[in-house]
Structure 1
Amino acid sequence: MFDIFGMPIQVIMGQVAIGLINGSFYAMLSLGLAIIFGLLNIINFSHGALYMLGAFVGWMLLNYLGINYWFALILVPIIVGIFGVIMERFLIRKLYHVDHIYGLLLTFGIALMIQALFLNLFGVSGQLYEVPELLKGTLNLTFMYLPIYRGWVLVASVIVCGSTWYLIERTKLGSYLRAATENPQLVQAFGIRVPTLITLTYGAGVALAALAGVMAAPVYQVSPLMGVDLVIIVFAVVVIGGMGSIGGAIIAGFGLGIVEGLTRVVYPEASSVVIFVVMVIVLLVKPSGLFGKAV
């Protein structure tokens, strides 16, 4: 059976599945970026380095301490999240009342330092992280054989993204977070410690990047450069979804993963730039992004 592109439907569906898996990482990373920008107004350019840091912490826990993948899924976001809390408390907090460019430059500098540290320690070669025993093997989807681990990544990312969206948009804690960014003095008057709330929010956004890093470790080689190109793509995803839009980041992440996968079928040479082409078109038509609010 052939579709409108003159390609077997199995090939099309296979690329859609691969696109969804890539979109899982785009969605989780862009979600963390959207939380940090939407609630704190900080452009966190260190997000790719923190994603890499999460992968390396998971790898070191396994190889140096014997802590397996399942425990790493819990421990790594906590460890890297604490590092994010320290960053916010002693560095980023000082920039909340100045132009966004200073926060971007600071986080970019932090990213370069983290990357340089791991390049000195491990070099440019990637480190292998074995797929956990429970998730080895493949699933026969009739149109392709899908590795069980990649299917797990897709399901887990949907759960994480959906839970985070619900927490921020539909719970009392989420309403406190949004109110604290819009009118911190009023929220403080009700006895809520706004600085602590903001610090924990930044730590949570960083923890999401670290969680994505752990989940990516068995799919890609753990390398100091693994977040360099990805962070540029993720920023494009956030811009397309709408800067600060939590739901927009999730939808754009998964959607653009599919677009990227289908482009590999139609015109493979353009697959590496199609997301940026979409970004340019969206900015021309709706500068605030698909789900963003005009300022």
Structure 2
Amino acid sequence: MTMIFGVPIQAFLGQLLVGLINGSFYAMLSLGLAVIFGLLRIINFAHGAQYMLGAFVGYLLLAKAGIGFWPALILAPLAVGLVGIVVERVALRRLYDLDPLYGLLFTFGLALVIEGLFRYQYGASGQPYAPPAQLAGGTNLGFMFLPNYRGFIVVASLLVCLSTWALIERTRLGAYLRAATENPQLVRAFGINVPLLLMLTYGFGAALAGLAGILAAPIYQVSPLMGSNIIIVVFAVVVIGGMGSIGGAIATGYLLGLCEGLTKVFYPEASSIVVFVIMAVVLLIRPAGLFGRVA
């Protein structure tokens, strides 16, 4: 049997794949958080609940309306994004000029309300959500067996993350968004509707969470607790990458997912805390995060 670092290569590559899949979700979720914080200066603690909402929208579309995975992959993020737009329009825009703590407390309370409502209706146990038939089964790569749906997750996550980075950093719309957060009065003077930009930004960040949720549903099942189970790790990812850094959120999400997977191979007992250990070390050395801007 082929060994690598004293571990069977199949076990090593299997855990590496698990880490890459987890990293794909960390990257998408931390990207949404980074977009919202970087452009709105809101610490969106409701992000985990929006992730859970995306999974439940897909599940309910299938169970109640018979709508399959592929249409739901478009409809679920749109639905969660619309909910986010309503939240921003009704409540969050009143908090922009206040201490960021108020935004954190509001979104934290909102997350508890959403999770509580779904726990009351569906309980704490998970609901199954099958992957599409086109991605059933797996592919034998010779050195390992790759489930098709998990391979799709990795590719889809990369496409979403890179497209979002390009939108924010390389387009005129992204320049308007970044300028609106730095100097909204000047941007308004050029005739740009800043409140509309901020509303769409929050809706877009929420839609990213909803997209991650429906993609995660066939792997982790649909549960009211799925958001609270992952959001603390995702916040750690954002802090390590640098608050508001789009590229940092993406790179750190994948790297920490891989670190978590490798830790399960060599020291399984530490796999649940390795992200937080890395966060503590990074903050001691570089408080702004690996990719954050030092004030």
TM-score (norm 2): 0.98
The answer for the alignment partner of 2:135 in structure 1 is 135
Q: Helix, strand or coil: the match of 1:217?
A: helix
Secondary structure at the residue paired with 1:79?
helix
* Offset, 1:16: 1.3
CA distance in 2, matches of 1:168, 1:177: 8
Extract unaligned runs of 5+ from structure 2: none
| 2:149 equivalent to 1:149 | yes
Counting only pairs closer than 5 Å after superposition, residues 234-245 of structure 1 correspond to structure 2 as: 234-245=234-245
Regions of 4+ moved over 6 Å: none
Distance in 2 of aligned mates of 1:20 and 1:144: 15
Query: Is the 1:48–1:228 Cα contact (8 Å) retained in structure 2?
Result: yes
Q: How does 1:69-218 map to 2 (within 5 A)?
A: 69-218=69-218
- Counterpart of 2:3 in structure 1 is 2
SS in structure 1 of the partner of residue 119 of structure 2: helix
- Aligned partners of 2:8, 2:219: CA distance in 1, in Å? 26
Are the aligned partners of 1:239 and 1:289 in contact in 2 as well (CA < 8 Å)?
yes
1:41-89 Cα distance to aligned partner (Å, 9 max, x none): 0000000011001100110001101111100111111111010001001
Question: For residues 203-261 of structure 1, what are the alpha-carbon distances to aligned partners after superposition, in whole Å with 9 as ceiling and x for unaligned?
Answer: 00000000000001111110000111200000000000100000000000000000000
Structure 1 residue 131 displacement after superposition: 1.2
Per-residue deviation, residues 257-283 of structure 1 (Å, max 9, x unmatched):
000000001100100000000000000
**Aligned-partner SS, 1:218:** helix
- Which residue matches 1:12? 12
CA RMSD of superposed structures (Å): 0.8
Counterpart-to-counterpart distance in 2, 1:142 and 1:277: 35
Partner letter of residue 169 of structure 1?
E
Distance in 2, matches of 1:49 and 1:97, equals: 25
Is 1:37–1:44's contact at 8 Å kept on the other side of the alignment? yes
The residue type equivalent to 1:205 in the other structure is G
Structure 1 counterpart of 2:213, which letter? G
| CA–CA distance in structure 1, aligned partners of residues 77 and 17 of structure 2 | 27
1:129-187 deviation line (CA, Å, top 9, x unaligned): 01110010111122321210010010000000000000000111100000000000111
User: Is the contact made by 1:11 and 1:143 (CA closer than 8 Å) also made in structure 2?
Assistant: no
What secondary structure is seen at the aligned counterpart in 2 of 1:288?
coil
Identity of aligned residues (%): 65
Query: 2:99 & 2:87 partners in 1: Cα distance?
Result: 18
Alpha-carbon distance in structure 2 between the residues aligned to 1:14 and 1:217: 20
The residue identity in structure 2 corresponding to 1:192 is I
Q: Determine the structure 1 residue equivalent to 2:31.
A: 31
Deviation at 1:7, TM superposition (A): 1.0
Distance 1:155 1:24 in 2: 9
Q: Distance in 1 between matches of 2:225 and 2:249?
A: 23
Contact 1:14–1:143 (CA under 8 A) maintained in structure 2: no
How many residues are paired up? 294
Partner Cα separation in structure 2 for residue 204 and residue 141 of structure 1 = 36
| Whole-angstrom CA distance in 2 between matches of 1:185 and 1:99 | 20
CA deviation after TM superposition for structure 1 residue 3, in Å:
2.7
List per-residue Cα deviations over 1:88-142 (Å, max 9, x = no partner): 0111111111111111100000000000100111011111101110010111122
How far did 1:10 drift? 2.7
Q: Is the 8 A contact 1:46 1:108 kept in 2?
A: yes
User: How many Å separate the matches in 1 of 2:143 and 2:271?
Assistant: 22
The amino acid of 2:137's aligned partner reads G
List aligned pairs for 1:262-277, cutoff 5 A.
Answer: 262-277=262-277
TM-score, with normalisation over the residues of structure 1?
0.98
CA contact (8 A) 1:263 1:270 kept: yes
Indicate whether 1:58 and 2:58 are aligned. yes
2:67 corresponds to: 67
Which sections of structure 1, spanning at least 5 residues, go unmatched?
A: none
Contact kept in structure 2, 1:27 and 1:253, CA below 8 Å: yes
